[in-house]
Each structure stands twice: as structure tokens, then as C-alpha cells.
A and B are shown apart, each in its own frame.
Chain A
């Protein structure tokens, strides 16, 4: 479907890069090269030179014909692109210090390789080789590629993107390939798995970009242009070239922009068809029939984004009771109350609600993606909060399920188990806040609330099994941190191994859930009965529950048992740790002449655990 001149002119008349970018992203129309040039020009006109992105392309097939599309996609993302193309066919040479690639100092190095490059034996059919030969070849090919990637990884800063050109033809065995134990497709799938496992294990900042996924989206006949391939060694149709550019630039955008963390969703005509306040529970479109099944599919897709580590928030103009009825009672509502980390359901302006959500979640608005069907709401948020990415849900229900699929901001470059737990942790925290508010409204005090949480603290001493998390805590905790000393895993291990050091960490659980390992202390015996507290820190996740006090007193009890009678500590102020300023004086540490703090355990003995609304278990 071609882009009509009328549509092009409408787009060229849009007033902001964000709007034009969204229109371009949502459209499936085929854009010609001259149209791409005009749109690129207009985007650059609307918002000058964006964040610079230095791209380097090392290739075993022609790459410079990608430039018009890279230019368009970069302009859509607000990135100022500076591309270096290595000399044609120079792959190994470019991995040498002093090469053009080296001198370009790229943010992103794209390796455009062909399958045949991986091993000379791939010039012949795979199916005729026996199983052992095929397995050995797969391993040799994967190792060879990992070796090549390693040379680039050692040379360049930034990210390295590895690609393999998809097969120009279907498998040698034809339709039978999928069923055969000599399947070529299975062999390549196995090679990709070996490759990505190797990349994950050995290198940081490398990503495999699977062009076979692009082939799925576009279809082989529409992906390859044989004329350009056989005459100029450039494989792609304009559609395929633009698709490759989009994927590469999406990774550039993920590198350059603050990571998206929140999808803030409207409800009416976003999560379901219709308006709950007017149509009622049985009148909204949500279920197995059209158009309700489109919205059900969108809700299902949102769970996928959640699995990327994004949290969902609700931002809807509705009576809370009406909306809650859907979340609680509608049989086809997939996203229930517990799926949302935070919510603002009221009649206030949405920009204010989004700001309130950001504050509640302690996240910047520049990590928000706002999704709403209304022209007015989208315009209001774009105007008031330019740092929020705004996506307007299409009017056509058929276009709703995939409306976020091409949003570069939602791509992730990594995924940890902590990311996956995020929504659960936020939802648990929301329930704690709700309870605190309820008890507050009922006249109960903080103590009553804390006791009602049924908190259990588990303190573990000198245990290396959480080594990575402990080192991470010293590097990421800025607010409740007395001395802000940063330790890598090696140094942390040294503390754990040393006889004269105590490394204590704690996790905190309550009726709502388990916060994981959230606090750390490092102490050392200076001589005889004197110990020094080198580090005491705690994640903001558990602030306000007196966990830091229970932890400290338990630690001091432990030191006293080991014969320590005096503990010296420091508060080293930084721009971010004002929260910890009064901690030592509040816990019986007296300021000394040399600017340090001293607690005498004979005069101020460690307080028993019963003093705190937390059950403490000390595991030695």
C-alpha cells in the first residue's frame, strides 16, 4: 500500500517531531525513497540535531544503500546519525587497532555478515553430512563467529550488534526440511542458540539481531531484490532496508534515551471498547467477539510488555467504583487490580495525574509511555509533559492489539530476574501504602501499621551466595548510605574471606511479600575491642519501617558477642545521602573531636529485637 501524496502532505504539515514520528511509526504505507528524504528533512527541520548516534557498519555485502533509511529512522527517533561504512569486504581488518572503525569510536557497531561467511563447509548442502559432522560444523561455526565478535568487542566502545543475512532461498530439502532430522532450519536455529549463549556468557554489550524475524514480518519474495543482489551485492528491497534500519536505530534509541519503565494506560477505548461509565459492565466491548476480542488481545499483549520489566499504571477519567467493577468482575478482563503498580482514577487533568504517578513510583516522567485513545488527552500530555512518550490508541479496533509493537522505546537490551519481579514488588508496595492510609484514616499510628505488617528480617553473616547482589547494592544505593563506598565483587569477596571482617546483609518480608536482599553492613575489627563500621546501607524500597534500626542493633549485638566494646563509624555526606544524616546520633553514636562517631557498647548496649516491630532471625 503506497503512501499517497495527500497523506504525505498531511504528515509534512504536522507541527512536532513526536507527532510525525508517531504517525510514521503507526503507518504500514510503503514510503518511496524521495518521500523518505522529504520526511527526513521535515523531521530535522522540526527538531534540529538530536542526540548524536555514532554508527559503524562492518559488512560482507553492500551497506551504503541503507543510508536513506537509516537517516529516516534516526530522524524519527530524534537522533543525529553519523555513520561509518567500513571498506567493502573488510571484516577482519577492521577489527585491528588503528582501523577506520577504531577511529570512528562508534556507539553502535553493526556487523552485517552472511551465513556462508561462518565456515567454508557452508558452501555445500548440510543435509548430505551425517549427524556428527553437522554437530561439529555447528560448533565450529559458532566458535568462529564468537571469535570474530570477540575481536570487535575488544576494539570498540558501545554496543556490538551481530546479524546474519537470512537465507535467500528456502531450505535445500524443501517442504520436507521441517520434518527431517537433517533439517537445515533446525541446524541454523541451533547455531543461533549456541551463538547467543556464547554472547551472553562471554561478552557484555553485544546483541544478536535476528533478521529471520524481519523475514517473518515481510516475507522472502518481498525481502530480497535479486537484481540488486546479483548486480550490486545489496540484498534488500526498500521495505527490507527500511525494516533493518528501524531495528538498528531502535537499539540506538534504547541506548541514548532514558529507559522506559512505565506504561501509563487509559481505560475506556484502550483496555476495552466503549465507556464503562456510560455503557456499563455488560455494554463495554471486551470478550470473544469482535470488537471486544481486539481489546482482549491488546490486554494480552500488555502482559508481554510487563514481562520485559515494564510496569503498568492506570490513568483514567472515571468513577473509581465503575472502573473497579470491571477489574474485579468482568469475566474477560485480563488485567486486574494487582497488575497495576499504581493508579490515578479520577476527574483531574491527566498531566497532573501522570506527575503524581511518577512521584508515587519514584520514577522520572522521562521513563513514562502514555497510552490513550483521545486526541485531546494525547495533545494535552504532549504539550504539558514533552518528556513523556505519547501513543494514541487507533480508532480502528483491528489496529489496537499491535499498536505498541513498533515503539522503539519499549525495546529492552537486557532482562534480569529482578526486572521480572518489578511489577510484583510495586504492587506489593502499593498495598502497603493503601493499608497505611487506611490505618491513618482510622486514627491508628505508625507503630500500629508497622506491627500489622508482620515483618520478618533475616540477617545473614559472611555469606558469599549473594555476592553479585551485595556488590550491586554498594554501587546502586545512594540515599540511605552512610559512607557511599563502592565495591566490586572482587573486593566484596575479599571482605567475606577476611577473618577480621563482618559482612552482614538482610532481607525483609511481610504479609504483602518479600523485598529480597535490601541491606548491607561491613565492619572490621581494628584492634582488640574496637571495631569500625565501614559501610551501612539500605535500599529505599524498605525505608520508613525501622528496618535500619533493627539491623544496626542486631549487628551491634553480634559484635558485642565477639568481644567488641566500642564501634567507630562515619557519616560521609554526599549530594544524595541526606536521609542518613541523623542516623548515627539517633542510635547512640556520639560525635568525636576528629569528626567521627563512637558508640560505647557498655554505656549504650545493643537494643533487643523486641524493641522493634520486626521479628529478627540471625543466620550465621
Chain B
């Protein structure tokens, strides 16, 4: 499973949206469920699932799939 596919599963399960509503360029604005509450839940889910630590300053920047993928790569996630 590629990192994107793993990420898609995490977003889908955390926000309770269908997997096919999430693409490689999806941003928070495009998903109603990705509101401020959903965003915090997603940050927690990313940390738990990929075993990474996210600084609180970084939280607001991770508001799209590409931004998250960049962060995951930067933290050494395959």
C-alpha cells in the first residue's frame, strides 16, 4: 500500500467519508467533514497511525493531502 493509499484510509476512517472522495490533491475546503474538529482528530490519527510527532505550529499547515504527504515524507515515512 502506498503512502497515499494509507493516508486515504486514515482520512476516510477518521472523518467518516467515502475513500473515493479523497484524491491526491484534495484540500480541507473540499470536504465538509474536514472542519476544525475533524482537522484536530485527523492530526491525532496521523500521529498514531504513522508513529510521528507533529508540532502544534505545523497543524494548520496540513490542510490538504499534498501538504500531509510532504510532511510524512519529511518525517521519513515510506
Which residues of A line the B interface, CB within 8 A? 2, 30, 32-34, 37-38, 64-65, 68, 227-228, 230-232, 234, 238
Q: Considering the complex of A and B, which 4 residue pairs feature the smallest CB-CB distances, nearest first?
A: A32-B48, A34-B13, A227-B56, A33-B45
A68: chain B residues within 8 A (beta carbon): 41
The answer to whether A33 touches B48, judged by C-beta atoms less than 8 angstroms apart, is yes
Q: Is B40 an interface residue (CB 8 A)?
A: yes
Q: How many residues of B contact A (CB 8 A)?
A: 17
If the complex has contacts A32-B49, A33-B48, are A231 and B59 also in contact, measured as CB distance less than 8 A? yes
Known contacts A227-B55, A231-B56, A231-B59; A34/B49 CB under 8 A: yes
Chain A residue numbers with a CB within 8 Å of B59 are 227, 231
B44 an interface residue at 8 Å Cβ cutoff?
yes
Q: Say yes or no: B40 contacts A33, CB within 8 Å.
A: no
Asked if A32 contacts B45 (CB within 8 A), the reply is yes
A37 contacts B48, C-beta separation under 8 Å? no
Mark contacts of B34-78 with chain A using CB atoms, 8 A cut-off: 1 yes-contact digit, 0 otherwise.
Answer: 000100110011001101001110010000000000000000000
The minimal Cβ–Cβ distance linking B64 to chain A, given in whole angstroms, is 19
CA–CA, A34 to B48, complex, Å? 9
Q: Which residue of A lies closest to B39 (CB)?
A: A232
B39 CB to closest chain A CB (Å) equals 10
Closest CB of chain B to A67's CB: distance in Å? Answer: 8
Please name the residue on chain B nearest to A30 by beta carbon.
B48
Please state if B40 and A232 are interface contacts (CB–CB under 8 Å).
yes
Q: A34-B48, A37-B13, A65-B41 are in contact. List 19 more A-B contacts (CB 8 A).
A: A30-B48, A32-B45, A32-B48, A33-B14, A33-B44, A34-B10, A34-B13, A34-B49, A37-B16, A64-B37, A65-B37, A65-B40, A68-B41, A228-B56, A230-B56, A231-B56, A234-B40, A238-B44, A238-B48
18 A/B residue pairs, CB under 8 Å, sorted by A:
A32-B48, A33-B13, A33-B14, A33-B41, A33-B45, A33-B48, A34-B9, A34-B14, A34-B45, A65-B37, A65-B40, A65-B41, A68-B41, A227-B56, A228-B56, A231-B59, A238-B44, A238-B48
A234 to B36, CA, bound (A): 13
Shortest Cβ distance from A230 into B: residue: B56
Q: How far is it, in angstroms, between the C-alpha of A230 and the C-alpha of B55 when the chains are bound?
A: 12
Q: Which of B10, B44, B59 has the most CB of A within 10 A?
A: B44
A391–B10 Cα gap in the complex (Å)?
Answer: 33
Chain B interface main SS type: helix
Once bound together, how far apart are the Cα atoms of A38 and B16, in whole Å?
Answer: 10
Q: How far is the CA of A38 from the CA of B13 in the complex (A)?
A: 7
A65: chain B residues at CB < 8 Å are: 37, 40-41
Determine chain A's interface SS by DSSP, over half rule: helix
B residues sitting closer than 8 Å to A (CB atoms) are 9-10, 13-14, 16, 37, 40-41, 44-45, 48-49, 51, 54-56, 59
Contacts of B40 in A (CB 8 A): 65, 228, 232, 234
Most buried by B among A32, A64, A65, A234: A32
Q: A302 CB to closest chain B CB, in angstroms? A: 36
Scoring B10, B16, B45 by chain A CB atoms within 10 A of each residue's CB, the highest score goes to B45
- The residue in A2, A30, A34 that gathers the most chain B C-beta atoms within 10 A of its C-beta is A34
Residues of chain A lying within 8 A (CB to CB) of residue B51: 2
Task: Give A247 to B55 CA distance when docked, in angstroms.
Answer: 30
The distance in angstroms between the C-alpha atoms of A2 and B48, with both chains bound, is 9
CB distance from A560 to the nearest CB of B (A): 77
Contacts of B14 in A (CB 8 A): 33-34, 37
Residues of B near A34 (CB, < 8 A) are 9-10, 13-14, 45, 48-49
Instruction: Give the complex CA separation of A2 and B14 in angstroms.
Output: 18
A32 to B49 Cα, complex, angstroms:
7
In the assembled complex, how far is the CB of residue A459 from the closest CB belonging to chain B, in whole angstroms?
A: 66
Give, as a whole number of angstroms, the nearest-CB distance from B44 to chain A: 6
Q: How far is the CB of B69 from chain A (nearest CB, A)?
A: 17
Chain A nearest CB, measured from B23 CB (Å): 19
The answer for the CA separation of A230 and B56 in the assembled complex, in Å, is 9
Identity of the chain A residue whose Cβ is nearest the Cβ of B55 in the assembled complex: A227
CA of A548 to CA of B61, assembled, Å: 79
| Interchain CA distance A30-B40 in the complex, whole Å | 18
Nearest Cβ in chain A — how far from B5, in angstroms?
Answer: 13
The residues of B that contact A37 with a CB separation of less than 8 Å are: 13-14, 16
A236–chain B nearest beta-carbon distance, Å: 10
Closest residue on chain B to residue A228 by CB atoms: B40
Task: A68 to B40: give the CA distance in the assembly, Å.
Answer: 12
B59 to chain A: closest residue by CB: A231
Q: Least Cβ distance of A571 to chain B in Å? A: 61
> Closest residue to A237 on the B side, CB-wise?
B44
Docked pose: A238 CA to B42 CA in angstroms: 12
Q: Which residue of B lies closest to A31 (CB)?
A: B48
CB distance from A331 to the nearest CB of B (A): 49
Specify which chain B residues have a CB less than 8 angstroms from the CB of A33 in the assembled complex: 13-14, 41, 44-45, 48
